[in-house]
A and B are shown apart, each in its own frame.
Chain A
């Protein structure tokens, strides 16, 4: 065995050019695989984080009838006693933020705006203090200031502000319906513009103080939802179920839904993207595999005569096969080492610098909750997989031509052109 290993190593150093070319093909294939995997993983992780930090929260307490009619943004299915629920959640050390979400028509008028107009919007009424224990909007103000309780002021997404031509201090009117169904007009002023890493917020969100909304919408203290924050990387579904179990005894008619249910469109989209990602990685793998196979095949075929000579000198078929497989494994090993190194260099760039997609994402919804720079993420599992894949692939692709050569007679091998 030691002799065979030594022979394989000698062969590797004897045919330097071939070894380098074959190993380089493996290294490039694996490097690209590692890079793309890190890039897509980074986008997915950042997107998920931005979804939880700015949109869905980890989980949400809702009236059990709300979810079925969520698209209508109904004010009839509410949590009547949010303070009691919040206190109970705080006892369980779960940060909670009540909100009332409602729909309305946003009306802008010429002077100060360029022209009259209106659009349907979704309005999030938030408790300016409590909301920051769950969401992170305070840090995303780019113009003006954050909301103050009780004021008739709003925060508006930066892209929506751009589309409307709105600035801090501009007046807006919201036409909506109260909890009892009556038309209501809320005259507000823009106090701040937010630009957060979640494009869906920048594109159309409007935030109003909860107590202001409570008065105008005749909510009498009720809210439509209480958002919860769980520790990062916790199992949101399991935690939501266990908290619901604890709360349900005291608060009838509520349910807690984890972000995976709240953002099920996104989750379905992410799953679809993942299968797309897998397909891209598979294609990258195929390209790498074809390259590796081709160079390995060439390497074996051009050495049929050498193989025949080894057999003529008395080496057993199994020993010849093992020598060639060791050699292929060696090439695979060198290629994998350099491939992982190349992948790491590319990852360093994509993880730390990223690619600026802001111009594209501004006008197009690609589904990911990422604005601006899309960064990658380190994926140690992919590095390990790529490393062993390089070696195994080389050995497997060397196996078949070797087997074919060993099936030939020694004289045929020696005559092989």
Chain B
């Protein structure tokens, strides 16, 4: 009797483990979907805070996962540029004609008063290089079934010790991210929606970022137009080009 029960259990469990997707696979699929060779985005950053609503338009160019240039085009910030390379972040203010390398405490400052810090823009390593991942189960976010993946830092130097991502089961795009402090307090929340397919990639055209330390404040990113895997000159991401 005992043997029969054991055999039945094994028979039931084997297919499940064979078909189950691991947290690592989910992250790999997510990164495969979100990372593009090159991209050009025409978008708007909308900052909602106690001072009101502020809209800043921008054009961003990206190459791979770690190189990006954002150039603001709205009247107030026209010509201001942010260049992210693998290890550095540079700012260029056209009025002052000054190039600033962001480092140390300056990285914690918010990008133009938004809920995003310069540090949030730093990258370089893939999630699996920096975090131990664990599949916590599945949950629905705005009606979309998602994998709930928790991540704990395995390397020093990453800003967030713990993150939880809700990754769309079908589209492999994150619907929600929670970023936590070392002591486990929620620091930032990112919610993505308006997912559309562009050149075979699923892209969220609307993203809301909330810094939980700031009440009544959020920053929205809206993509107006996106072009993927287009030829981009390497010089776009150079310091020389940044000051032009």
Contact = CB atoms under 8 A, between A and B. Distances in A.
B215 A178 contact: no
B105 A120 contact: yes
Contacts of B179: 183
B183 A184 contact: yes
B160 A173 contact: no
A73 B107 CA distance: 13
B2 to A, nearest CB: 49
Interface in B100-119: 103-105, 108
A180 B157 contact: yes
A183 B215 contact: no
Contacts of B161: 178, 182-183
Contact of B213 (A107, A177, A181): A107
Contacts of B183: 184-185, 216
A182 B213 contact: no
B37 interface: no
Contacts of B185: 185
Interface string B178-208: 0101110101000000000000000000000
Contacts, number: 65
Interface residues of B, number: 22
Contacts of B108: 105, 175, 177
Contacts of A109: 215
A175 B213 contact: yes
Interface string B141-178: 00000000000010011111100000000000000000
B104 A72 contact: yes
Nearest to A69: B104
B210 to A, nearest CB: 14
Given A72-B104, A72-B105, A116-B50, A184 B215 contact: no
A164 to B, nearest CB: 16
Interface in B9-24: none
B214 interface: yes
Interface in B78-116: 103-105, 108
B105 A183 contact: no
Interface residues of A, number: 26
B216 A116 contact: yes
A294 interface: no
A68 interface: no
B105 A182 contact: no
B158 A182 contact: yes
A73 B105 contact: yes
A103 B105 contact: yes
A212 interface: no
B160 A182 contact: yes
Report which residue of A105, A116, A185 has the largest number of chain B beta carbons within 10 angstroms of its beta carbon.
Answer: A185
Interface in A162-203: 173, 175, 177-178, 180-185
Contacts of A73: 104-105
Contacts of B153: 182
Given A116-B50, A116-B216, A218-B182, A183 B103 contact: no
A185 B159 contact: no
B182 A184 contact: yes
Given A181-B156, A183-B160, A183-B161, A118 B182 contact: no
Interface in B211-244: 213-216
Contacts of A185: 181, 183, 185, 187, 213
B154 to A, nearest CB: 11
A249 interface: no
B243 to A, nearest CB: 25
Contacts of A107: 213-214
Interface in B122-144: none
A180 B157 CA distance: 6
B25 to A, nearest CB: 26
B156 A183 contact: no
A115 B215 CA distance: 10
A74 B153 CA distance: 20
Contacts of B160: 182-183
Contacts of A173: 213
Contacts of B214: 107, 116, 118
Nearest to A218: B182
A363 interface: no
Nearest to A122: B105
A185 B161 CA distance: 12
B104 A183 contact: no
B216 A183 contact: no
Nearest to A181: B157
Report which residue of A73, A175, A216 has the largest number of chain B beta carbons within 10 angstroms of its beta carbon.
Answer: A175
A182 B157 CA distance: 7
A91 interface: no
Given A103-B105, A173-B213, A183 B187 contact: yes
B97 to A, nearest CB: 24
Contacts of A116: 50, 214-216
B188 to A, nearest CB: 9
A280 B213 CA distance: 52
Given A72-B103, A103-B105, A120-B105, A182 B216 contact: no
A173 B185 CA distance: 12
Contacts of B215: 109-110, 116
A103 B107 CA distance: 12
B157 A118 contact: no
Interface in A77-124: 103, 105, 107, 109-110, 115-116, 118, 120
13 contacts: A69-B104, A71-B104, A72-B104, A116-B214, A118-B213, A120-B105, A173-B213, A181-B157, A182-B181, A183-B159, A185-B181, A185-B183, A216-B183
Given A105-B108, A175-B181, 6 more contacts: A72-B105, A109-B215, A116-B216, A181-B156, A183-B187, A184-B182
